[in-house]
Structure 1
Amino acid sequence: MRIPRIYQKVELNVASEFELTPEASHYISKVLRLTVDSPITLFNGNNYIYQAKIIEIKNKSVKVHVNQSEYKNVESNLQIHLGQVISRGDKMDLTIQKAVELGVTSIYPLTSARCGVKLDQSRLKKKLLHWTKIAISACEQSGRNFVPKIHEVTSVNEWVNDSFSGAKICLEPSSSQTIKSLMIDQNLRLLIGPEGGFNDDEINLFQKSNFSNIILGKRILRTETAGFAAISALQTLYGDF
């Protein structure tokens, strides 16, 4: 039987006992319907896994005992920091889920001139919590023991002007340069635009900020497809694929 993996944002120590969060307790007891003595695997983002077993189940709480720990780093040697202009509907959810599964190090939700999503501060906070939960769930599923950070929403103009020591790449259909032609080190920023693309002022700004414009073949990809394709290509050429 596959042992469930559960993320807990707490310090984990061998021989310790503690109650899982209410959300995790509900999932363990009501969804998976595990019982006392069932094994589970815990992680908290420090690249360790902690083998534990359930020692008590009450109405809305599950208590576990941590038996042992093991350092298990499954991260790629290539650190990809994804800047993704926010897309409509559940497309952004899908982008975050798959980007985490494919091994990105961090994700920056961005706004741009042609971004079709307008959110006030209250909705932005809710979105960030929602996206963080998606990232955690993707780590639980994919076996990652490090949780990529979902950063605060910022404008693409501010993001490209941030100080960054590493390669900087922007997907731009008008470019003739491909990923294979680049010299990539182990740390890079990848910029994916909105459904309507970037405008001329933004493209000029990216060039001044030393971004390399690249193309993924002769076809124009949807914003939610472009990220998957670019990350996969980068991991294949320079990472651990």
Structure 2
Amino acid sequence: MANLRFYTPSTLALGALVQLSESAAAHATRALRLNVGDDVVLFNGDSFNYSCTLTDIKKNSVTAIVNSATEVHNESPLNITLVQAISSGDRMDFTIQKAVELGVKNIQPISSKRSVVKLSAERAEKRTEHWQNIAISACEQSGRAYVPNVLAPTSLEQWLSKNPSANSTRILLNPIGAIRLTEIPKPTDEIQLLIGAEGGLSQEEIDLATSHHFQSIVLGPRILRTETAALTAIAAMQLAWGDF
């Protein structure tokens, strides 16, 4: 059975009539071929699943009524923010999708010196919207009822200037001066994980991050691609400290 679970930005309450988003309506009717009377689950990021029944289907709209609400308890105990240098092609989409499945709370794209992709302000806005939709789709698939926030891209220097290191555990993948993840005490606050793009972070960026209390770690003796590095690090954290 297909996953009949859809995100809506609407406020959800018992007995409310809710119109599905255009993309959700198209998927429900054209791909899944749902009909009036079929049951679906809606969520809006408030940590609840809402069981609904489709009540009306028109050419460009689908309406459902909310029957019940169930709180979802599958959020990771770790508060991970992925600070990811923008990678090219499908790598960034893949990284965001899988990071959401693995339980990250926020994603901060950054432009780095070795990023192949350089975004203008207009393109950055469009890409942020696209990445947020990737995160929403990953929540639909993985059963999460909280939607991670994909923030607007910025430079590492700008992000660091606006995010002091107080109340956060900062981790960087870098073999120089590195320790193993298991040597870091279990964090009780936010974890900020910094990952470079295809060519890694420049030495200047590594030095900047280190000066802002990022601890270098190493994940084995092999060199990992940017998308592999991010997901391996998150999975390792979930195994060491989280709910794996």
TM-score range, shorter chain: over 0.9
Aligned-pair identity (%): 42
Which has the higher mean CA deviation after the structures are superposed, 111-120 or 230-239?
A: 111-120
TM-score normalised over the length of structure 2: 0.95
**What is the 5 A alignment of 1:66-215?**
66-161=66-161, 162-164=163-165, 165-186=167-188, 187-215=190-218
Task: Give the AA of the match of 1:71.
Answer: E
Give the Å deviation of 1:203: 1.6
Which has the higher mean CA deviation after the structures are superposed, 121-130 or 93-102?
A: 121-130
In 2, distance between residues paired with 1:192 and 1:89?
Answer: 17
Task: Give the AA of the match of 2:203.
Answer: D
Change (3 A) 1:84 1:11: same
TM-score normalised over the length of structure 1: 0.97
Task: Give the AA of the match of 2:9.
Answer: K
Change (3 A) 1:151 1:64: same
Gaps of at least 5 residues in structure 2 are none
Q: Deviations over 1:85-142 (max 9, x none)?
A: 0001110000000000000000000011211111111111111111011000000000
Name the structure 1 match of 2:61.
61
Task: Please point out which of 234, 237, 240 is paired with 1:234.
Answer: 237
Give the Å deviation of 1:2: 4.9
Query: CA RMSD for the aligned pairs?
Result: 1.2
Task: Give the AA of the match of 2:129.
Answer: L
Which has the higher mean CA deviation after the structures are superposed, 47-56 or 13-22?
A: 13-22
State the secondary structure of the residue aligned to 1:108: strand
State the secondary structure of the residue aligned to 1:83: strand
Task: Give the AA of the match of 1:171.
Answer: L
Give the Å deviation of 1:195: 1.5
Residues 175 and 215 in structure 1, CA contact (< 8 A), matched pair in contact too: no
In 2, distance between residues paired with 1:221 and 1:175?
Answer: 18
Give the Å deviation of 1:175: 3.8
The size of the alignment, in residue pairs, is 241
Task: Give the AA of the match of 2:213.
Answer: N
Give the Å deviation of 1:73: 2.5
